[in-house]
Amino acid sequence: MPDADHRIYLLAGVALFAIGFYSLLVQTHLLRRVMALNVMGSGVFLVYIALGAQTPGPIPDPVPQAMVLTGIVVSVCATGLALALADRVQAATGRVELGDHEDAADLPDASPAPSEHHKGTPSA
């Protein structure tokens, strides 16, 4: 098991993950949600680094660090994709949050052009 020094990083990582997940659930603004996902990701990476430090010697285990590098690359791509899509969603609907149930009934042939109704203000 990790000693006390490393345990604080482990707990901090888990806490970041939980905070990110909580905001993802309660926030509706698309940009805030993308940021929440990034906070979650940072939490996971911190957990990896903390686990990599729990080797007996002074040199940490390089494998989790390599994994975190891969994870960061994936996370940057994910953020880029999410931002691009959020931008397109906002361009098409005029809103910066996801509608609740409108999309299920709105199939290809019947979707009207964005109406006045959807241009409305993005309220919280």
Partner 1 sequence: MTAAWAIALLILSPLAAAALVFAFPRCGRWLALGTVAVVGGASVQLTWKVLTDGVQIHRVGGWGPPLGIDLRADGLSVLMLLITALIGLAVSLYAQRYFAAHESERPLPVNPDVAASRLSAAILDKDSVRRSAETPLRFKSPTRELVRGDRNPALHRERYFWPLFLFLWTALNALFLSADIFNLYVTLELLGFAAVTLVALAGKRAALTAALRYLFVSLTASLFYLLGVGLVYGQCATVDLASLAAKAQPGPALWVALALMTGGLIAKAALFPLHFWLPPAHANAPAPVSALLSALVVKGSFYILLRLWIEAFPALMTPPVAQLFGLLGAAAILWGSVNALVQSRLKLLIAYSTVAQLGYLFLLFPLAATPEGGFTAWSGGLIFLGAHACAKTAMFLTAGNILHAAGHDRIQDLDGMTHVLPVSVFAFGLAGMSLIGLPPSSGFAGKWLLLNAALAQGQWWWVAVMLLGSLLAAAYVARVLAHAFTRVEEPRKPHPIAPVMEWTALALALLAVGLGFASHGLAELLRVGAPVAGAMLLGGAAP
Where on the chain is the footprint of partner 1 (CB under 8 A)? 17, 21, 24, 29-33, 37, 40-41, 43-44, 47-48, 51, 54, 63-64, 67, 70-71, 74, 77-78, 81-94, 96, 98-99, 102-104, 106-111, 113-114, 118-119, 121-124
Angle value at C-alpha 41, between 35 and 42, nearest 5 degrees: 90
Closer to partner 1 at the Cβ: 11 or 81?
A: 81
Instruction: Let me know: does 16 contact 39? Beta carbons within 8 Å.
Output: yes
In whole angstroms, how close is the CB of 58 to partner 1 at the nearest point?
18
In whole angstroms, how close is the CB of 123 to partner 1 at the nearest point?
8
Instruction: Let me know: does 37 contact 17? Beta carbons within 8 Å.
Output: no
Helix H, strand E, coil C: the string for 36-84 is HHHHHHHHHHHHHHHHHCCCCCCCCCHHHHHHHHHHHHHHHHHHHHHHH
Closer to partner 1 at the Cβ: 58 or 68?
A: 68
Closer to partner 1 at the Cβ: 5 or 114?
A: 114
In whole angstroms, how close is the CB of 8 to partner 1 at the nearest point?
16
In whole angstroms, how close is the CB of 5 to partner 1 at the nearest point?
16
